[in-house]
Structure 1
């Protein structure tokens, strides 16, 4: 009788273990299914929100035209940055707003809204018609608030009347390029014989 009792107890323990294991397994799956499903991270769109063709931007002061920007294509982004992937042409006007005194041409450009800065790049050529000078550089930045133009890049300024060149690294200028200062000039310079 003791032997049958032991068999019964062993069978009971074995059935209880299977029952307990099955119960815990069902409970684990049940809890897993109750767990909130994590939403996959949604990647925000970072591309342009607006595309504009044949762009003409005008800047004026006191009713006088100061600057005109032309480009065939502009992309505007959610942060108000703008990209000009094609040629950028800029005309700077005299104080009356009636005559173009300086022209600028570049391969591309963009506007950094956070810094209020226009940056043009690639074969930048600036011609000051009044001073008869041509500036070439790979990149220029213009701040419409301070009306200053600058670069850290190499620059070359050619006097269109004499054919002489001034080269250097870095430049500061006012927006119509009537004043230009090369930060670190280098190269061979022509000296006016009357200044000796």
Structure 2
């Protein structure tokens, strides 16, 4: 029998350790493409304030209590969104508020939902609906949902609307009611 000066118990421990490692590395290897991928936001920001300007003049002011950013560039405002529109001279012309908002980055398109209210402060007109799209690039808002517009003289109701983003000019697609507020 050959003796190298290393005790027999050392070889027993070494073989046991190798066997343990071999069992531990068994079937745990998985294809990463088959694993469920995380689809939630990669960043959350609280108390968001975003300013859009033209020639160093603020044209749009966007505020939200929470903004979630996603890998594809989209942003979600799960706790609501508040947008203010300004004219070239700096005067506030209109506002847009909603309980939820989503921006599709590659289309520069916002979707707002839940108690959507657009106020034209200069004309004292108010739009109410449950869902509205805002195309920032084209400076337009539109919806196919029910809308209610209150002016100083009347209440207009209908389905579908197309307007410029400051709500100074609009068109209801299918008018369903007009009520005069004057006696």
TM-score normalised by L of structure 1: 0.73
Kindly report the root-mean-square deviation, in angstroms, between the aligned alpha carbons of the 2 structures. 1.7
Structure (1/2) with the larger strand percentage: 2
Distance 1:103 1:81 in 2: 22
Please list the CA deviations of residues 12-45 of structure 1 after superposition, one character each: whole Å capped at 9, or x if unmatched. xxxxxxxxxxxxxxxxxxxxxxxxx763622221
Q: Which residue does 1:135 correspond to in 2? A: 127
Distance 1:38 1:131 in 2: 63
Unpaired stretches in structure 2, ≥5 consecutive residues: 1-28
Please list the CA deviations of residues 109-146 of structure 1 after superposition, one character each: whole Å capped at 9, or x if unmatched. 11112322011100001111111101100011111111
Is the radius of gyration larger for structure 1 or structure 2? Answer: 1
Q: Which residue does 1:76 correspond to in 2? A: 69
Q: Which residue does 1:90 correspond to in 2? A: 83
State the SS of the aligned residue for 2:178: coil
Superposition pairs for residues 1-196 of structure 1, below 5 Å?
A: 39=31, 41-96=34-89, 98-159=90-151, 161-162=152-153, 164-190=154-180
Structure (1/2) with the larger helix percentage: 1
After TM superposition, the structure 1 stretch with the greater mean CA deviation from structure 2, 40-49 or 178-187, is 40-49
Please list the CA deviations of residues 28-78 of structure 1 after superposition, one character each: whole Å capped at 9, or x if unmatched. xxxxxxxxx763622221110010000011111222211111000010000
Distance 2:109 2:30 in 1: 41
Q: CA deviation at 1:189?
A: 4.9
Distance 1:38 1:110 in 2: 35
Unpaired stretches in structure 1, ≥5 consecutive residues: 1-36
State the SS of the aligned residue for 1:46: coil
TM-score normalised by L of structure 2: 0.78
